[in-house]
Structure 1
Amino acid sequence: MKKACWLSLCGMFLFTGCISYSESMAGFEQEKMNRTRIDFSKNRDQVIDYIRKYIPNVSDEQMLKWENEKSLECMTIDGKKMYFYNAAPNLFRINKEAIAIKIAKDGITEDGKDRVNSSHVPLVVSAVKAKKENIVLPVKMHVKYSLTVQSNAVPEGEIIRCWLPYPRTDQPRQTNLKLFNTSESKYLIAPVKYKHSTIYMEKKQEKDKPTTFSVEYEYTSSAEWHHLKPEDILPYKKNTSIYKKYTSEREKHILFTPRIKELATQIVGNEQNPLLKVKKIYEWINQIPWASAREYSTLDNIPEYVLDNKHGDCGQVSLLFITLARYCGIPAKFQSGFMMHPGGKNMHDWAQVYFEGVGWVPVDQSFGLFPSKNQDEKYFFMTGIDSYRMIVNDDYSNSLFPAKKYPRSETVDFQRGEVEWRKGNLYFDKWKWNLEIEYMK
Structure 2
Amino acid sequence: MLSTFILSQTKFDDVNELVKAGEFTKASKLIDEKVKTMNLLHEEIFQLQFEKERLERIRKDFNKTADDILKYARKYYPNATESDLRKWEDDGSLEYKIIDGKKWYFARAASNLFRINKEAKKQKELIDGFKKDPLDVFLESYTPKVLDESANAQEKLVKPVTFRLNYTVTVEPNAVPNGEVIRCWLPFPREGHERQQNIKLLGINSDEYVIASNDNLQRTIYFEKVAQKDQPTVFNIVLEVTNYSEVNFIEPTQIKPYNKNSGLYKTFTSERAPHIVFTDKIKNLSKEIVGEEKNPYLIAKKIFTWISTNIPWAGAREYSTIENISEYCLTRKHGDCGIKTLLFMTLCRYNGIPAKWQSGWMLHPGEVNLHDWCEIYLEGYGWVPVDQSFGMVDSEKEDEKYFFLGSIDPYHLIINDDYSTPIFPAKIFPRSETVDFQRGELEWRGGNLYFDKWDYHMEVEYIEPK
- What is the TM-score normalised by the length of structure 2? 0.89
In structure 2, distance between residues paired with 1:63 and 1:149: 37
In structure 2, distance between residues paired with 1:426 and 1:240: 41
In structure 2, distance between residues paired with 1:191 and 1:24: 28
1:270 aligned partner: 292
In structure 1, distance between residues paired with 2:167 and 2:446: 26
1:139 aligned partner: 161
1:228 pairs with 2:261: no
In structure 1, distance between residues paired with 2:412 and 2:329: 25
Match of 1:96 among 98, 103, 118: 118
In structure 1, distance between residues paired with 2:87 and 2:154: 53
- CA positional deviation for 1:113: 2.4
Residues 163 and 241 in structure 2, CA contact (< 8 A), matched pair in contact too: yes
1:433 pairs with 2:428: no
1:23-48 CA-to-partner distances (Å, cap 9, x unmatched) read 54441111001000000011111110
Residues 179 and 226 in structure 2, CA contact (< 8 A), matched pair in contact too: yes
Match of 1:117 among 139, 143, 161: 139
1:129 pairs with 2:147: no
1:384 pairs with 2:417: no
1:61 pairs with 2:83: yes
Match of 1:340 among 363, 367, 370: 363
Residues 112 and 341 in structure 1, CA contact (< 8 A), matched pair in contact too: no
In structure 1, distance between residues paired with 2:389 and 2:461: 26
1:370 aligned partner: 393
In structure 2, distance between residues paired with 1:198 and 1:115: 33
- CA positional deviation for 1:174: 0.5
In structure 2, distance between residues paired with 1:110 and 1:121: 17
Residues 140 and 395 in structure 2, CA contact (< 8 A), matched pair in contact too: no
- CA positional deviation for 1:423: 1.8
In structure 2, distance between residues paired with 1:108 and 1:389: 28
Match of 1:326 among 335, 349, 355: 349
1:357 aligned partner: 380
3-state SS, counterpart of residue 286 of structure 1 = helix
2:158 partner letter: V
2:30 aligned partner: none
1:6 aligned partner: none
- What is the TM-score normalised by the length of structure 1? 0.94
Runs of 4+ in 1 over 6 A off after TM superposition: none
1:7 aligned partner: none
1:14 aligned partner: none
In structure 2, distance between residues paired with 1:111 and 1:418: 31
2:409 partner letter: D
Residues 143 and 437 in structure 1, CA contact (< 8 A), matched pair in contact too: yes
Worse-superposed segment, 74-83 or 21-30: 21-30
In structure 2, distance between residues paired with 1:21 and 1:60: 44
Match of 1:401 among 424, 429, 439: 424
1:255 partner letter: V
1:50 aligned partner: 72
In structure 1, distance between residues paired with 2:156 and 2:264: 21
- CA positional deviation for 1:21: 5.2
In structure 1, distance between residues paired with 2:453 and 2:132: 32
3-state SS, counterpart of residue 321 of structure 1 = helix
1:173 pairs with 2:198: no
- CA positional deviation for 1:382: 1.0
In structure 2, distance between residues paired with 1:229 and 1:316: 28
3-state SS, counterpart of residue 364 of structure 2 = coil
2:144 partner letter: P
2:338 partner letter: G
1:312 aligned partner: 335
1:37 partner letter: R
1:232 partner letter: Q
Worse-superposed segment, 130-139 or 404-413: 130-139
Residues 35 and 298 in structure 1, CA contact (< 8 A), matched pair in contact too: yes
- CA positional deviation for 1:212: 0.7
In structure 1, distance between residues paired with 2:129 and 2:428: 48
Unaligned runs of 5+ in 2: 1-40
- CA positional deviation for 1:171: 1.4
2:319 aligned partner: 296
CA RMSD of aligned residues (A): 1.3
Residues 25 and 407 in structure 1, CA contact (< 8 A), matched pair in contact too: no
3-state SS, counterpart of residue 97 of structure 2 = strand
1:8 aligned partner: none
Residues 90 and 292 in structure 1, CA contact (< 8 A), matched pair in contact too: yes
Question: How many pairs does the alignment contain?
Answer: 423
Residues 308 and 388 in structure 2, CA contact (< 8 A), matched pair in contact too: yes
Unaligned runs of 5+ in 1: 1-18
1:51 partner letter: A
Q: 1:204 to 1:22 in 2, by over 3 A?
A: farther
1:277-333 CA-to-partner distances (Å, cap 9, x unmatched) read 101111111121100000000001001101111101000010000000000000001
In structure 1, distance between residues paired with 2:308 and 2:339: 13
- CA positional deviation for 1:112: 4.0
Match of 2:305 among 262, 276, 283: 283
In structure 1, distance between residues paired with 2:157 and 2:134: 23
Q: Output aligned runs, 1:17-36, within 5 Å.
A: 23-36=45-58
